[in-house]
Structure 1
Amino acid sequence: MAKRIQISQHGGPEVMQAIDFDPADPLAGEVQIENKAIGINYIDTYVRSGLYPASLPSGLGSEAAGIVRRVGPGVTVLKPGDRVVYAQATLGAYSEVHNVAVERVALLPDAISFEQAAASFLKGLTVYYLLRQTYVVQPDERFLFHAAAGGVGLIACQWAKALGAHLIGTVGSAEKAQRAKDAGAWATINYREENIAERVSELTQGKKLRVVYDSVGKDTWEASLDCLQRRGLMVSFGNASGPVTGVDLAILNQKGSLYVTRPSLYGYITTRDALTQASNELFSLLASGAIKVDVPESQKFALVDARQAHQALESRVTQGSSLLIP
């Protein structure tokens, strides 16, 4: 028997229940992983709340690091005992044991701990596709990245610095501004006290930006568009304040023939080769120290305390990554 977190209805953190279950044998093309550290991501709250519908009852979570315990028929690239990390798995990573399709699993170098991996893999792959594929950020380029002190944002700050680019990050407090700057943000904007578009203009001597990365959604939609130069690209990749709905496409014309994309990791990392390429670049930056992921002890929760973890995440009191520890 093993323990996992399950929801039988959509709603707030209170709908999550810790239950015992008997793990199934891994199917063909799957490996069974004993999780050592589990990544908590904002998308998990979307599944729990019903913003991203799931068939009920459902597990939660898609990212963790651990040890391969068993392999299913036909699996040759991994073996029992391998240290691994995975993301994009079928829902259910909030668990002591999870069966995962082998194309979602990467070998974890010894230089990277389970906690580092679980805290950075999905977020790091997200930053990889955003900065390296959706739009290829260039050295010395200035761009806007919302929620710069969040889990994805702090990795983006460090990755941008490694690329020699200038990330302007929005934050909600002076403490978070300092955290983003310490991670490598070129400049920060406190959205609670400053007008985002006006501050961008001040920082760039009146020049607008080629690209804005926005995971906040509804609350920052128009401000993001106002920061873009003619034919600039709005990358809307999250809904932390609620989804962007009812968009009048004419606004894109009025603000300068703008482009908008709504990407996700699932549209970019679609094969094991793509996962290997992305994870190798991420692991190289982690191993070199160019990207550091330090999870405060206050943001490490026991698996059975998943409710408290979601409450902390949604109250925006967390900074960077949080983990569940089985």
Structure 2
Amino acid sequence: MARQIQFAQTGGPEVLEVADVTPRDPGPGEIRIANRAVGLNFIDIYIRSGLYPANLPSGLGTEGAGVVDAVGDGVDDFAEGDRVAYAQGPLGAYADFITMDAEKAIALPEAIDFETAAGGMLKGLTVQYLIRQTYAIGEGDTILFHAAAGGVGSIACQWAHALGAHVIGTVSNEDKASIAQRNGAWMTIDYTRESVPERVLELTDGAGVPVVYDSVGKDTWSDSLACLSKRGLMVSFGNASGPVEGVNLVELNKGGSLFVTRPSLGGYADTRERFEMMCDDFFAVLESGEVKINIGQRFGLEEAGKAQEALANRETTGSTILTL
């Protein structure tokens, strides 16, 4: 028997329960992974709350790292004992074991430990498509990144800095400002005390920024648009404050022929070839030391609800993981 976090109805953290389950044997093309660490992400909260639908009862979590425990027929790329990581597994990563399509796993370099992989895979691949594909930032670019001290933001500040960009990061207090600055942010804006658009325009001599990366959603939508330069790109990639609704295209015209995109990891890592390319890019900056994964919080598997509550209340910094 093994432990798995499950929920039979949507709601708050209290709906999460620890269940004893029998790990499923891998079928053709599948592997079973003995998790060593599991990553927490806002999408897990969206699924638990019902914002993103799931077939109930359901497991939770899609990201982790561990050791291959069993291999199904037709799997040639992995063997028992291999170190692996994954970011797009089936719901059920909050568990001692997970069985999944081998195509969704990636071999983990020896230089990268399990906690780093579990705390960084989904966030790191998210940053990869955001700053390397959705809008390929370069030397001298000035960008705005919301929640700059969070898990995704911490990686983005480091990686963008390594690429020569100037990151303006939004934060909620001085401690988070210090974290963002240590990670390479050029400037920070405390959105609880300052007007983000006004400060961005001050920092850019009235020009605005060519791209805004916004994982907050509803609460920051209008301010984010107001920070863009003409023909700027609004990258809305999360709903921490709720989904953006009632988008008025006239606003984009008035703002200066603005562009908007709502990307996702699944939309970019949609083939094995692209997934491997993105992992190679992310692993390279980890191994070079240009990007470090800050594990700000560790919780036991049974504390999954408590961990999600801290994440939802913006009480966390860096990445949050469940340890097994």
Q: Normalising TM by the smaller chain, what interval?
A: over 0.9
Partner residue in 2 for 1:186: 186
Alignment deviations for residues 213-269 of structure 1 (CA, whole Å, 9 cap, x no partner): 100001100000001111111000000011100112111111111111000000000
Offset at residue 294 of structure 1 (A) = 2.6
Matches within 5 A, 1:1-326: 1-296=1-296, 299-326=297-324
Task: Look up the SS of the partner of 2:44 in the other structure.
Answer: helix
**How far, CA to CA, are the matches of 2:225 and 2:136 in structure 1?**
19
Offset at residue 104 of structure 1 (A) = 1.2
**How far, CA to CA, are the matches of 1:228 and 1:136 in structure 2?**
16
**How far, CA to CA, are the matches of 2:295 and 2:90 in structure 1?**
25
**How far, CA to CA, are the matches of 1:159 and 1:99 in structure 2?**
32
Task: Look up the SS of the partner of 1:69 in the other structure.
Answer: strand
Task: Look up the SS of the partner of 1:231 in the other structure.
Answer: strand
Aligned length: 324
**How far, CA to CA, are the matches of 1:102 and 1:139 in structure 2?**
37
**How far, CA to CA, are the matches of 2:94 and 2:279 in structure 1?**
22
Offset at residue 70 of structure 1 (A) = 0.8
**How far, CA to CA, are the matches of 2:144 and 2:85 in structure 1?**
30
Say if 1:5 and 1:59, in contact at 8 Å, map to a contact too.
Answer: yes
Identity of matched residues, %: 56
Alignment deviations for residues 50-106 of structure 1 (CA, whole Å, 9 cap, x no partner): 000111001100000000011111110111110000011110000100012112111
**How far, CA to CA, are the matches of 2:174 and 2:58 in structure 1?**
38
Unaligned runs of at least 5 residues, structure 1 = none
**How far, CA to CA, are the matches of 1:236 and 1:104 in structure 2?**
25
Offset at residue 133 of structure 1 (A) = 0.6
**How far, CA to CA, are the matches of 1:258 and 1:201 in structure 2?**
16
**How far, CA to CA, are the matches of 1:132 and 1:295 in structure 2?**
24
**Aligned partner letter, 1:206:** G
Task: Look up the SS of the partner of 1:270 in the other structure.
Answer: coil
Say if 1:126 and 1:152, in contact at 8 Å, map to a contact too.
Answer: yes
**How far, CA to CA, are the matches of 1:211 and 1:295 in structure 2?**
28
**How far, CA to CA, are the matches of 1:127 and 1:289 in structure 2?**
16
Task: Look up the SS of the partner of 1:74 in the other structure.
Answer: coil
**Aligned partner letter, 2:256:** G
**How far, CA to CA, are the matches of 1:51 and 1:160 in structure 2?**
31
Task: Look up the SS of the partner of 1:120 in the other structure.
Answer: helix
TM-score (norm 2): 0.99
Task: Look up the SS of the partner of 1:91 in the other structure.
Answer: coil
Task: Look up the SS of the partner of 1:26 in the other structure.
Answer: coil
Say if 1:142 and 1:165, in contact at 8 Å, map to a contact too.
Answer: yes
**Aligned partner letter, 1:287:** E
**How far, CA to CA, are the matches of 2:143 and 2:176 in structure 1?**
18
Unaligned runs of at least 5 residues, structure 2 = none
**How far, CA to CA, are the matches of 1:254 and 1:283 in structure 2?**
41
Question: Could you say what the CA RMSD is over the residues aligned between the two structures, in angstroms?
Answer: 0.8
TM-score (norm 1): 0.98
Say if 1:103 and 1:271, in contact at 8 Å, map to a contact too.
Answer: no
Alignment deviations for residues 126-178 of structure 1 (CA, whole Å, 9 cap, x no partner): 00000011111111100101000000000000000111111111001111001
Offset at residue 27 of structure 1 (A) = 1.6
Say if 1:28 and 1:74, in contact at 8 Å, map to a contact too.
Answer: yes
Alignment deviations for residues 294-315 of structure 1 (CA, whole Å, 9 cap, x no partner): 314xx11110111111111111
**How far, CA to CA, are the matches of 1:107 and 1:43 in structure 2?**
24
Offset at residue 205 of structure 1 (A) = 1.4
